[in-house]
Structure 1
Amino acid sequence: MAERDIAPSPAVLLRDGGPPPDGATDRRSLPLYRAGEIDVPFVVQSSVENIPGDTFWEMHSHPTHELLWNERGASSAVIGGRVWTITPTAALWVPAGTPHAGWTPAGLRHRAAHFAVDAVPSISDVPVAVELTSLLRLLLDRLDADGLAPAARARTEAMVLDLLVPARHELTLRVPDSPLLAPITAAVREDPGDATTLAVWASRLGVSTRTITRTFQSETGLGFSRWVAAARMQQAVAMLARGDRLDEVAERVGYHSASAFGAAFRRITGVSPGRFRSQ
């Protein structure tokens, strides 16, 4: 498969906040704030930005809680060695003061909402995925409307807060630190369809299959096969979000049929590839 067909995953290259992937046309530096370090004159405030070029966001943190999602396209955030995939339906809640880095590709329509810590308790002490339902999107859009009366705004904010709950499925992946696993993670990053088996990797690296499995489990919480499947799905989500055909995506991430890919995608994300793309 040609290298131009499968670019290395920016999400994995962003691990620990740098350096940015090759080809980044914009590098943004933001401050590191502690939770509540700055008083803000709002309960919820959102923003929208069309990203003109591939953009790397250096490690930063906010004095407010943050909800990140996209109106179109898929982006990545890196927090403590864990890579999160953010889409129009899978949002990410980042508690105030949590350092994070990010990658947003060209053409993405990026959304963010900030929540004052003195008015909104965090829904979690750690970053969590939030299912961005149609109702939640409509309410967040309403908060952006001009001329919203204070009473109406307060009611809308209350409904938004009521709908902010951790999702059952998360598009997240922990990247292992171990040098032993580096060749495996690099191979999957460069080609998510790489079909090298655990036994072959053990032979190449001169260790037992049990050693590889134990190392993956201790560093990522997943065994070899499950980690590879999760890494493939992160790439698949990005491909689907940019409009690639289902059968092409299935082949590129190592599945011999669209049905097998669909079953794996549904198991990890909670929705079928077709439903994900339609949402």
Structure 2
Amino acid sequence: MAHEQTIDLERFEMVRGQTFQHHVHDEHQLAWASTGVVMVDIQDRCWVLPPHLALWIPGGVRHATGALRESVLQGVYLDPATCPLVWTRPTVLAVPPLARHLIGYLAGELPAAGRAHAEAVLLDVLRPAEATVFELPLPVDPRARAAAALLLDDPADRRGLGELGRAVGASERTLLRLFLAETGMTFTQWRTHARLQAALAHLAEGRSVGRVAERVGYATPSAFVAAFRRVTGATPAAYFARSRGVEGETS
């Protein structure tokens, strides 16, 4: 019996700032940047994805994808009728080295038996990532969303809620209420997560902790590392070592 192909792949070379505006696929999609860093925006959430992570997007879910750096986006499309994976919500997946090699292998011309085996192994090794920092809830109210957009555009922006409120036409009290009600976080917690999410893109490119801390609004590297550890349970070096299956980094 001929193998019924489960996976199709497309490769997109993207320049910094390039975006695929909101759209929908019938197929499930795995959005993964083999190089660079991409952001995926789905309704009230956004995710920053360095190369060791991908986002599972169920078929029928409206999403937008943009490149934060010059990137190569690999679109891995899976037929819902034949795909054995059953995640029904957007899910961050770890992309270990074996999965990266398999995606590259499947992009080539393969005999049916070899493709069937590679697809089965790829689907078997995909697992949800342990980290929680990559998913950032976004407020829905236009005023709070505008304030969030200012901070996402410039994570080092040090303006407090009062100043941000004047910029977007809302009081400090209103923004406090909206962030808590619509994101489940206090504004301070949300800003911390937004800064750490922005930091991931820089860290994934190998920039120093000191430089990254400054670019995302921390006064000192130690303050940045402490915030990163509070959210992820690890220092930046240990986190990236763990995500890539490397042991023992502690700095």
Please indicate the TM-score interval, normalised by the length of the shorter structure.
Answer: 0.7 to 0.9
In the TM superposition, 1:213-224 aligns within 5 A as 213-224=176-187
Structure 2 match to 1:158: 120
In the TM superposition, 1:114-153 aligns within 5 A as 114-146=77-109, 148-153=110-115
Q: CA deviation at 1:202?
A: 8.3
Equivalent residues of 2:18, 2:67 under 8 A apart: yes
Structure 1 match to 2:140: 177
Helix, strand or coil for the counterpart of 1:173? Answer: strand
Equivalent residues of 1:65, 1:122 under 8 A apart: no
Q: CA deviation at 1:154?
A: 1.7
Helix, strand or coil for the counterpart of 1:47? Answer: strand
Q: CA deviation at 1:164?
A: 2.3
Helix, strand or coil for the counterpart of 1:70? Answer: strand
CA distance in 2: counterparts of 1:75 and 1:52, whole angstroms: 11
Structure 1 match to 2:62: 99
Q: CA deviation at 1:120?
A: 0.5
Q: CA deviation at 1:207?
A: 4.9
Q: CA deviation at 1:188?
A: 1.9
- Indicate how the Cα distance of structure 1 residues 180 and 99 shifts in structure 2: closer, same or farther if over 3 A, else same: closer
RMSD, matched Cα: 3.0
Whichever residue aligns with residue 166 of structure 1, its letter is: P
- 5+ residue gaps, structure 2, are 245-251
Whichever residue aligns with residue 58 of structure 1, its letter is: Q
Deviations 1:203-250 (A, max 9, x none): 996454xx6444212201222121101111222223334554431210
Deviations 1:45-84 (A, max 9, x none): 2232322464221221112111011122111111112112
Identity within the alignment, % = 33
Q: Which runs of 4+ in 1 moved over 6 A?
A: 199-204
Structure 2 match to 1:33: none
User: When the two structures are aligned, how many residues end up with a matched partner?
Assistant: 236
- Indicate how the Cα distance of structure 1 residues 185 and 140 shifts in structure 2: closer, same or farther if over 3 A, else same: same
Q: CA deviation at 1:256?
A: 2.4
CA distance in 1: counterparts of 2:77 and 2:145, whole angstroms: 36
- Indicate how the Cα distance of structure 1 residues 125 and 73 shifts in structure 2: closer, same or farther if over 3 A, else same: same
CA distance in 2: counterparts of 1:107 and 1:190, whole angstroms: 17
Whichever residue aligns with residue 155 of structure 1, its letter is: H
- Indicate how the Cα distance of structure 1 residues 243 and 156 shifts in structure 2: closer, same or farther if over 3 A, else same: same
- Indicate how the Cα distance of structure 1 residues 121 and 98 shifts in structure 2: closer, same or farther if over 3 A, else same: farther
CA distance in 2: counterparts of 1:176 and 1:51, whole angstroms: 28
CA distance in 2: counterparts of 1:215 and 1:138, whole angstroms: 44
Moved more, 61-70 or 105-114: 105-114
Q: Please, what TM-score do these two structures have when normalized by structure 2?
A: 0.79
Structure 2 match to 1:248: 211
